[in-house]
Structure formats: structure tokens, C-alpha cells
Chains A and B, each alone.
Chain A
Amino acid sequence: MHRMKKSFTLVEILGAVSIFMVGILTLSGLIAYQIYGAKTSTNRVIAAYLAQEGIEIIRNIRDTNWLKNQNWDINIGATTDYRLDYKSRKFPDTNYSSCNPLRFDGQFYNCSQGSKTIFSRKVSVSKGTDKMEITSTVYWKERGITHSFSVKEILFNWKP
């Protein structure tokens, strides 16, 4: 019998090519995910500071209440609302009809002026005796997926 020189069959070639393709696709997927992750981490940092702003403003309203010798929790509603920005003197800020999403006026993120941003901020306040719990959550959308960043703070009526 002749010793025939073996060549690759079509199946073998298809097998090799598909294994190769799987490798390539995995790698390119990995790189795409890397870029996406970098973008998400960027927005997370921005969201973290916007969320902090929500807490600080509620705290500022409480401190102002003390300075004005009025009830410590006046102007802070025990509710969940989006209407609160860096100028707000009460929560929810009824000067605005809505605040979802936050707008950017060229200098500041706010509720009423400028173009819409991808961020929105939801603030929740729940009250106990001489104590309130504030949760500030910033949401943003990326490629159709909604992400969020949340911070929580408990304020007390410690001033005699």
C-alpha cells in the first residue's frame, strides 16, 4: 500500500480556525470591557461627589435651623425626592418642578438650568426621635445599563 501524504481535512481546518477565533474574540471582549470599566469608574467618582453634595446640603439645612433657633428638622421632609440642588434651602425644593435628571448650566450641576446630564440624584430622609437617616443615591445610565452610587448618613439633634 502506498503511504499517502496526509493533508488537513476541512473539519480540521474549521476546528483550528474556530479555536483561533474564540481566542481572538475573548481577547477583544476583554479589551472592550476594560474601556467600559474605565468609563464606569469615571462616572462613579463624579457620582460619589454629587451624592456627597446631597448629604451636605441636608446637613447645612439642619445647621441653619439651629442658627435660626427653629426646630432642627424643619424644611427637611421625611420623604424621597429628586428636587435638591446646591442652592436649595429646603427638601424637597418646591422651587423646582422636577430635578430628574440633573442639569448642567456651564458651571454647576443644578435642577433648573442648562442641558440635561446623565446623572440624577435621589435623596431619602427618614426621621426618628432626635435622629434622621439620609440616603443620597446618584443614578446614571451607560449603554442602557443603569448604575448607582449611594451614601448614607445619620444626623442627630445633639444641640441642647
Chain B
Amino acid sequence: MKKSFTLTELLVAIGLTSLVSGAILGIFLSGIWAQRRILATQEVLDQASYVLEYMGRQLRLARKDDLDGKSCLHGYKTNCEVSEGGRKISFKNFDGKCHSFYFQDNKIVEKKEDFFNPLPLTSVKINYLKFKVSGETQQDTFQPRITISFEAETKEKNPTKLKFQTTISQRNLDVVY
């Protein structure tokens, strides 16, 4: 007689197959989920380090205002100026151009005097951007110091929020002119 599968054998076989494929599918899915998370995190890290390095370089090399007869800031012979409740910093860059960084529409944007429009530096969501400066005038006998702090979040359903901060000391000595 030609042997056929019994019902029990069939059930066991189906059960085992679905168990195995379920496990494999689970691993595959969690792999995809993990990859998505890592890419989202990577995007935030890339942009955060770019924006901190770029702003850091510009702020380190900032020039004192008014020395070349051109005025970018309200104060006389100041190094930089914070406005909009700490959300904006303006300064004269190494090139002698008026330059500013500020917070707008959940982005960090920059504006230079020869830009027609402000240029966003980030595309991930920024929750806040704060600048704190001290020693920015030349009479205070302190070397200018700028603290940058911001929070960025990942593009996910449950976003991870990351708080970055660094402090920059201006490279040109703030001697009195």
C-alpha cells in the first residue's frame, strides 16, 4: 500500500514549519527595525557634528566688529552678539562678512550678508538652540567664550532626543583697540 501522511504527522510538520519561519521572520523584522533606528540616529549624529564643527570654526575665527570701518553688530568693537532670547548669534566672520546663526522652524539656519535667503544647516528636527556668550566686549578683559547648546531628535515614531553642547573660545586675543 502506498503510505501517506497521517493527520498527526501533517499537523506536526505544519506546526514546525510555521515555528521555524516565524522565528526567522521575527529576526528579519527586528533586523530591519534596528537598521532603521540606526540610520535615523546616524542622520542626527552626522548633522549635529557638522553643525557644531561648522559653527565652531566660524565662531573661533570671528573678528572684532568695527575695526575695518564696517559695522555688523549694535555694540562698538564687540566680538559677537546674542539676541532673540539666546536663539541667535551674530558676529563678523574671518572673511570680514556679517554672519549669523539662529533657530528658525525647528532648524539651525545661517545667514551671511551676501546671502539672499537664510540657509538651513540641518534637516532633522531641532527642539531648541541656545547660545550663551561672555567676555564679548573688549572692556571686560575676558576672552570671548561662546556656549552652544541644542537638542536634536531622530525621525522616528518614538524619537530619541539628543542634547549636544560645547563651548568655543575665540582664537584672536580680545586686546583693546
> Which among B65-73, B108-116, B164-172 touches the partner chain?
B164-172
Q: Mark B1-28, 1 if CB is under 8 A from A, else 0.
A: 0010000000000000000100110010
Contact A53 B167 (CB under 8 A): yes
Question: Is the Cβ of B37 less than 8 Å from the Cβ of A38?
Answer: yes
Q: Which stretch in A56-64, A92-100, A122-130 binds the other chain?
A: A56-64
Task: Name which of B88-96, B98-106, B128-136 contacts chain A.
Answer: B128-136
Across-interface contacts of B83 in A (CB, < 8 A): none
Size of the A side of the interface (Cβ < 8 Å), in residues, is: 33
Q: Are A28's CB and B48's CB within 8 A?
A: no
- A60–B27 alpha-carbon span in the complex (Å): 51
A27-B27, A49-B52, A86-B167 known; A108 and B149 CB under 8 Å? yes
What's the Cα separation between A87 and B86 when bound, in Å? 15
For residue B123, which residues in chain A have a CB less than 8 angstroms away from its CB?
Answer: none
Considering the chains assembled together, what is the distance between the CA atoms of A64 and B135 in angstroms? 9
Task: Tell yes or no: B119 within 8 A of A by CB.
Answer: no
Instruction: Count residues on chain B whose CB falls below 8 Å from chain A CBs.
Output: 42
* Chain B: minimal CB distance from A103 (Å): 12
Q: A86-B167, A109-B165 are in contact. Are A67 and B175 (CB under 8 A)?
A: yes
A52 to chain B, nearest CB (A): 5
Chain A residues within 8 Å of B142, by CB: 64, 67
* Cross-chain contact of B30 among A28, A42, A52, A57 (Cβ < 8 A): A28
Take A35-B34, A108-B149 as given contacts and tell me if A49 and B164 are in contact as well, using a CB distance cutoff of 8 Å: yes
